[in-house]
Amino acid sequence: MNVWLKIQLFLLIAVLLSQCEKEPSGVSIPDNNFLQALIELGIDTNGDGFISENEAEAITYLDVNGDSISDLTGIEAFINLDTLFCYNNQLTSLDVTNNIALIYLDFGRNQITAIDVTNNTTLEKLACHNNQLTTLDVSNNINLVYLSCSSNQLSSLNVSNNTALESFGCNNNQLTTLDIVNNVALEYLYCSHNQLTSLDVSNNYALKFLYCPWNLFASLDVSYNTALQNLFITGMPSLYKVCVWEIPFPPAGVIVEATGSPNVYFTTDCN
């Protein structure tokens, strides 16, 4: 092969390689409903019917609620997402370990049995209610201000590291204990329909809304919770003594609902 042919061949190879570099690889998205939802949202900017890595990486907000999606494979390519809504689909699993920029994640009303959010340390809001979770580790998610994990199958939950929490919902689980002593910023607590025999809210001075009906309390002390505006203690015939900060109770501006708790009495005697 003469020198001229070698030069032409070299130039041809260089051109082909440069073309390959200019065309980013496509993202594998096996669920057609997910792919179509992305296309309808305009994420397929070049109209080729596929999602490229560049197109995925350009997205920071994604809402695919209620799109009959059963597999969210491909979401790992959306590495710059700060908000992901995939509520009310048919998901049985979800991998967000690569989506480390997430601030808000909502995958409520699916059939997910496990979730790993240990990599998602920037999360501020996590909604995972109405799934089939048996465990939930939020120990690394110290920036959480909102956590909704109601209607799962949780028998234990540790939120001691989540000191920024302002709203926390864990209704309809199988919890026998709940430690919120460290959650001093908490304003809204929903923990109904569990198997709690006691609840210590003495450190939660900011608490405005306490919804704890249908548990197994014998007593409850809210004498430190003078910011309280709503107290729901319904459906607990086991509950007798509720210690409060003043008598008569409730004072003006405080709403108490105790239907189905016929033995309740309020007192300032907290001994």
Contacts of 174 (CB under 8 A, 6+ apart): 153, 154, 155, 194, 195
222 close to 242: Cβ distance less than 8 angstroms: yes
Q: Rg (Cα) of the chain, in Å, rounded? A: 26
pTM for this predicted structure: 0.90
Contacts of 33 (CB under 8 A, 6+ apart): 67, 68, 69, 70
What's the CA gap between 67 and 64, in Å, rounded? 6
Q: What is the mean pLDDT of the chain?
A: 94
In this prediction, residue 157 carries a pLDDT of: 98
Nearest CA to 189 out of 225, 138, 139 is that of 225
In this prediction, residue 54 carries a pLDDT of: 97
Backbone phi, then psi, for 32, in 5-degree steps?
-65, -35
What's the CA gap between 218 and 173, in Å, rounded? 20
81 close to 64: Cβ distance less than 8 angstroms: no
**pLDDT tens-digit profile of 1-41?**
554 444 455 544 554 444 444 445 799 999 999 999 999 99
What's the CA gap between 23 and 55, in Å, rounded? 12
**pLDDT tens-digit profile of 87-127?**
999 999 999 999 999 999 999 999 999 999 999 999 999 99
Percent of the chain whose predicted confidence (pLDDT) is above 90: 90
